[in-house]
Amino acid sequence: MSTPHTAAECKLKPPSSRLTKLPTYVFAELDELKEAARKRGADLIDLGMGNPDQPTPAPIVKAIQDGVANPANHGYPNFKGKPEFRQAVSAWMKRRYGVDIDPDTEVQPLIGSKEGLAHITFAYIDAGDYSIVPSPYYPVHSRATWIADGLVHHLPLTAENRFLPDLDSIPEEVAKKAKLFFVSYPNNPTAGVADLPFYEKLVAYCRKYGIILVSDLAYGELAFDGFRPPSIFNVPGAKDIAIEFHSFSKSFNMAGWRAGFAVGNPEIIKALYSMKTNLDYGLASAIQDGGIYALNEGEKFMAGIVQAYQERRDVLVKGFRELGWQIEPTKATIYMWLPIPPSFSDSKAWCRHLIDTADVVITPGIAFGEAGDRYFRVSLVSPKETLQKAIDRLKEKGIRYDA
């Protein structure tokens, strides 16, 4: 073989089919659309992002800064996390949800909950195994299974079923082959919420088939008008089959620090832990210090964070109603999930139209799977004034649901 002289001559081997067979990540396409609009001089208002716009509360930052300065934190972290972190998680689960969690065997710190959601999938899914995933879905709920060469059985979430999946529609052979069942309430992107009767049915279903129930509670703290979302562990018997993922990202404006945790059945926690010991070194110790502070002292900041989102929601609900959308105020999350006008063929066409005519960016529902293609998502991560400006722009351009 001749020695290559240029990068092209190296004939680099391609990435794995696991990676290349994945459907395109719509958020990357959206970035290209935004880039093109900015090049033509557009002053975009971006309602598409899910990234909290407010800083992490200063005392949490201070706890991390102190942690960074502490030499005891400078080595590799313990795979299981600091005992104080696990203790803080256990106390939090008791205080917020009335749930008993053993800090020694039922907690796993995570480098953000997305990491854990991917790794629990790799811990359980072999080629040909099924995951059951309500659709539309937060991408990693389906994509991790595809990366693991598994199959995903999607359950449609519709406004008619209050964005709760119909368990009776799952074919018996899928239920028998399924290893994981993902649910995430309060839901991204639909903002749907689950009640205890639904969780009771779900827990009974997963117990019947021995399916590991993966509850993603990333928005558990962001609920409005006094509503308190339940934990899956509020259902007796859930701990026999379930694991629940929590995130610091939205509750404490900590998305950039990458911190989360899982709680649940010790055997499932152990499988996640084992997968992680093979792939990473766990959550940085200084960030754990910030997490300990947030869990022990942070509820006082959360109230302000939730109040700000609720006020933003009110601006958008009023604004979209004035534009012809018939919507009810959302009960939770930092999103609203709205139908695209009937005159548009699909969610990407609607998204392009809004960028081209009003310089307003939304997320096309297709980003969350085929079932989302007649919807779009807007986020509450901009100040009220910006949200109002977006509504005013839509009004000026004559954009209406019924136009």
Ligand X SMILES: Cc1ncc(COP(=O)(O)O)c(C=O)c1O
Binding site for ligand X (CB under 6 A): 50, 112-114, 138, 184, 188, 216, 218, 247, 249, 255, 260
CB closer to ligand X, 175 vs 194: 194
How far apart, in whole angstroms, are the C-alpha atoms of residue 184 and residue 232? 10
Torsion sign, CA atoms 331, 334, 337, 340 = positive
CA 336: distance to chain centroid? 14
In the complex, the smallest distance separating the C-beta of residue 374 from ligand X, rounded to whole angstroms, is 21
In the complex, the smallest distance separating the C-beta of residue 375 from ligand X, rounded to whole angstroms, is 16
CB closer to ligand X, 50 vs 229: 50
In the complex, the smallest distance separating the C-beta of residue 189 from ligand X, rounded to whole angstroms, is 8
Contact call for residues 151 and 128 (beta carbons, < 8 A): yes
CB closer to ligand X, 216 vs 289: 216
Q: Which residues pair with 244 in a beta bridge?
A: 215, 263
How far apart, in whole angstroms, are the C-alpha atoms of residue 211 and residue 95? 28
Burial 260-269 (b: 16+ CB within 10 A, else e): bbbbbbeebb
In the complex, the smallest distance separating the C-beta of residue 333 from ligand X, rounded to whole angstroms, is 8
Q: Strand 45-46 vs strand 360-361: parallel, antiparallel, or unpaired?
A: parallel
Residue 203 is encoded by which pair of tokens?
């827990």
**Which runs of consecutive H residues, i.e. helices, occur in 210-283?**
266-279
CB closer to ligand X, 135 vs 188: 188
In the complex, the smallest distance separating the C-beta of residue 343 from ligand X, rounded to whole angstroms, is 30
How far apart, in whole angstroms, are the C-alpha atoms of residue 60 and residue 1? 58
How many other β-carbons are positioned within 10 Å of the β-carbon of residue 157?
Answer: 25
In the complex, the smallest distance separating the C-beta of residue 83 from ligand X, rounded to whole angstroms, is 22
CB closer to ligand X, 220 vs 319: 220
CB closer to ligand X, 359 vs 363: 363
